[in-house]
Amino acid sequence: MINESILDRALAAYLGFACGDALGATVEFMSPRSIQKRYGVHREIIGGGWLNLQAGQVTDDTQMSLAIGEAIIQHQGWNIQAVADNFVEWLASEPPDIGNTCRAGILRYQQTGELSAPPDERGAGNGACMRNLPVALATLYNPIKFETWSLQQSHITHNNPLSDGATLALGRKTQALIKGEELNTCQSEIDTLLKQYPQFNYHPYPGKSSAYIVDTLQTVLHYFYHTQSFEECLIATVNQGQDADTTGALAGMLAGAHYGLSAIPSRWLDVLDGEIYQSINRQCRELLKLAEKAGSARPAR
């Protein structure tokens, strides 16, 4: 039996992620100024944007997450090759968008079978961090598996210490929120990251929200801590523009895990792509079942 409150917060994290992706995609690559000129405050899932999306359509962030989740469920556990194969299949489906580093990594795997990108000290995009939620769910009670699986899936495309650090810290924070831990306990993961890599410090907030993992994480954490509700957090985040679908998705993941399902505006859930909604709902339950099986410890409550 999956704990009801954990299921609620896990579903809210995954659906919140997809809502943030769909909401932010409209204003991806825009500056805060141009968003303001065009929309005032952008607060509705209306599609459009540079990808010319339909309202409720999601982008690579949600699609790559679902690809990882599907591989874990198909194999009832971890199979890194299956993850890479699902990325290949996804790329072949001609997705609306894909990051350059993700594309290069998937093509390398396709051509050489090599599962890990060579270490890259320069490229620290957010493409690995953005798709790690299914791993966080499936390893909710197993920190060792969480770390191994996270790094393996990341390195298919992104092999960089800043990307690794952010992916692990944000994933652990999300897990702590889903388990219902107090906000200040959840902060310890981020404090550890800041000690190791002070460049992630987000106070005062530098105001950049690009796909550079440092900019992305600063934006997500800043708005998570400076807003009072799920809706306010996502709206503030995406109106910062730039990589707004990815910052929106990650903010939605944290805010969903923290505020729970009832906090997600129904007008957003109603418009979210129905197939995506169904897939998330199914994956979430399956991944949490696996987490209970694979866990080294039982949930506290």
Q: Interface residues with Mn ion (CB under 5 A)? A: 59-61, 243, 245-246
Distance separating alpha carbons of residues 17 and 246, to the nearest angstrom: 9
Min CB(242)–Mn ion separation in Å? 9
Min CB(243)–Mn ion separation in Å? 4
Distance separating alpha carbons of residues 247 and 152, to the nearest angstrom: 22
Min CB(70)–Mn ion separation in Å? 18
129/291 with CB nearer Mn ion: 129
**By the 8 A CB rule, do 235 and 244 touch?**
no
189/273 with CB nearer Mn ion: 273
Number of residue whose CB is nearest Mn ion: 59
Min CB(94)–Mn ion separation in Å? 15
Min CB(8)–Mn ion separation in Å? 26
Closest CA to 22 of 66, 65, 67, 53: 53
164/243 with CB nearer Mn ion: 243
**By the 8 A CB rule, do 261 and 181 touch?**
no
- List CB contacts of 100: < 8 A, sequence separation 6 or more: 125
Residue with tokens 């418009």: 271
**Token digits for 64?**
């790559």
22/83 with CB nearer Mn ion: 22
Min CB(69)–Mn ion separation in Å? 17
Distance separating alpha carbons of residues 79 and 71, to the nearest angstrom: 7
Amino acid symbol at 254: L
2/104 with CB nearer Mn ion: 104
Closest CA to 162 of 128, 187, 117: 128
28/231 with CB nearer Mn ion: 28
